[in-house]
Amino acid sequence: MSKVMTGATMSLDGYIAGPGESGFDLLFRWYNNGDVETRNINPDLTWHTTRASADVLREMMSNVGALVVGRHLYDLTNAWGGRHPLDVPTVVLTHRPPTDRPLADENFVFVTDGIEAAVEQARELAGDKWVALNGGTIARQGLDAGLVDEVHVELTPFVLGAGTPLFGALATAPVELTGPYSIVEGNEVVHLRYRVVRGPERP
């Protein structure tokens, strides 16, 4: 069965965005502060990282088979111009499915009946590959529903002081992880990989 992971690039003090959607210039600096080029399907988004971070990106790109995102990100990115840069089908969890496109095609599948259904749909699309849940609201819902196997944090050396937390107020907190089972150092980022511990109450 495919692995379900979530994570995000995070400030040292736990935020995936600063106040008013600020801080991305700092948080995402590691995507463009190295010599090694990693391409994706969006030519405007080619990454230049250290060799270590490039290996992390390539591992993600070769292993992720489907994504689950929220409607906010889908709208904010204008549907990534038609398909997600990772070149995988993307499940959009939303209360208001779009009226100007099919509910499912090879690029996007719109799910309205909750995180379990969205992850189930993504699992089918991913086959043996990983399902990746977007950080923030979707990650929180997935963790609360006991659906997440791993948390991947790209930890950056910046203190934002306030903003959008990695998960926000979990209903099931505290959640125990184990690890990190992997620590990779890039330039202005440390890639940390954790597994979620599933207690008897988290089947």
- Binding-site ranges for its own copies (CB under 8 A): 10-15, 18, 22-23, 26, 143, 151, 153, 155, 157-162, 165-170, 173-180, 183, 185, 188, 190, 192, 194
Q: Find, among 192, 187, 121, the residue nearest to 153 by Cα.
A: 192
User: Phi, psi at residue 74, to the nearest 5°?
Assistant: -60, -45
Least distance from its own copies to the Cβ atom of residue 202, Å: 12
Q: Which is nearer to its own copies, 1 or 169 (CB)?
A: 169
Least distance from its own copies to the Cβ atom of residue 56, Å: 16
**Total residues found in the chain within this entry:** 203
Q: Which is nearer to its own copies, 111 or 190 (CB)?
A: 190
Least distance from its own copies to the Cβ atom of residue 106, Å: 34
**Cβ atoms within 10 Å, residue 177:** 18
| Dist. CA 91–CA 88, nearest whole Å | 10
Least distance from its own copies to the Cβ atom of residue 119, Å: 18
Distances (CA, A) of 125 to 51, 111, 158: 30, 13, 36
Q: Which is nearer to its own copies, 90 or 156 (CB)?
A: 156
Q: Which is nearer to its own copies, 62 or 181 (CB)?
A: 181
| Dist. CA 92–CA 83, nearest whole Å | 12
Q: Which is nearer to its own copies, 146 or 168 (CB)?
A: 168
**Cβ atoms within 10 Å, residue 14:** 15
Least distance from its own copies to the Cβ atom of residue 32, Å: 16
